[in-house]
Amino acid sequence: MKSVKKLLKENRSRALPDDGVKDRIKRELGMTETQTSLALAGGGERTRSGRKKALIAIIAAAAAVVLALGIILPVALRPSSPAPSPLPGGNKFLQITDAESFYAYGAASVGTMLSSGTAYSSAARSAALTSAHVLSAPSDAAYDELTATADRYMSLVESLLGSGEIDGTVTETDGEYAYSMNISYSDLLGGTVSYVMMYNRTLTDSETDGDEKEEEYAIDGVLVVGDTRYPVEGKYETEEEEDETGSEMSFRAYTSADRRSYIAAEQEHESETEGGESETEIEYVYTVVVDGEETERTTVEYEYEGNELELVMTVENDGSERVLEFSDESKGGERVLRVESDIDGKRISFRIYVRDGKYHYVFSDGSSEDHDRRHD
Number of domains in the chain: 2
Instruction: Say if residue 216 is in the same domain as residue 71.
Output: no
Question: Can you give the pLDDT at residue 123?
Answer: 44
Q: Where does a domain end: 26, 48, 76?
A: 76
Whether the Cβ atoms of residue 325 and residue 312 lie closer than 8 Å to each other: yes
pLDDT surpasses 80 at 337: yes
Instruction: Say if residue 143 is in the same domain as residue 186.
Output: yes
Question: Can you give the pLDDT at residue 6?
Answer: 44
> Could you tell me if residue 62 is inside a domain?
yes
Q: Is 340 helix (H, G, I), strand (E, B) or coil?
A: strand
**CA proximity to 119, closest of 152, 150, 144, 146:** 152
Instruction: Say if residue 51 is in the same domain as residue 157.
Output: no
Output the CA angle 325-327-332, nearest 5 degrees. 150
Assign 320 a pLDDT band (cuts: 50, 70, 90).
confident
> Could you tell me if residue 87 is inside a domain?
no
Calpha distance 135→367 (Å, rounded): 8
Q: Where does a domain end: 48, 76, 104?
A: 76
Percent of the chain with pLDDT over 90: 29
Q: Identify the residue with better confidence: 134 or 340.
A: 340
pLDDT surpasses 80 at 249: yes
What CA dihedral angle connects 6, 11, 15 and 17, to 10 degrees? Answer: 80
pLDDT surpasses 60 at 177: yes
Question: Can you give the pLDDT at residue 31?
Answer: 53
Whether the Cβ atoms of residue 234 and residue 249 lie closer than 8 Å to each other: yes
Question: Can you give the pLDDT at residue 223?
Answer: 97
> Could you tell me if residue 82 is inside a domain?
no
Instruction: Say if residue 99 is in the same domain as residue 70.
Output: no
Instruction: Say if residue 115 is in the same domain as residue 65.
Output: no
Residues 6+ apart with CB under 8 A from 11: 68, 71, 72
Instruction: Say if residue 41 is in the same domain as residue 184.
Output: no
> Could you tell me if residue 54 is inside a domain?
yes
Question: Can you give the pLDDT at residue 149?
Answer: 84
pLDDT surpasses 60 at 108: yes
Instruction: Give the mean pLDDT of the chain.
Output: 74
Question: Can you give the pLDDT at residue 294?
Answer: 94
Assign 361 a pLDDT band (cuts: 50, 70, 90).
very high
pLDDT surpasses 50 at 79: no
Average pLDDT over residues 166-192: 92
Whether the Cβ atoms of residue 350 and residue 339 lie closer than 8 Å to each other: yes
> Could you tell me if residue 55 is inside a domain?
yes
Instruction: Say if residue 295 is in the same domain as residue 170.
Output: yes
Average pLDDT over residues 139-163: 81
Whether the Cβ atoms of residue 157 and residue 87 lie closer than 8 Å to each other: no
Calpha distance 103→298 (Å, rounded): 18
Average pLDDT over residues 282-308: 87
CA atoms within 13 A on the CB side of 150: 35
The residue range of the domain holding 248 is 92-372
Calpha distance 354→188 (Å, rounded): 7
Assign 222 a pLDDT band (cuts: 50, 70, 90).
very high
**CA proximity to 35, closest of 49, 46, 45:** 49
> pLDDT, tens digit, for every residue of 114-126?
887 554 544 444 4
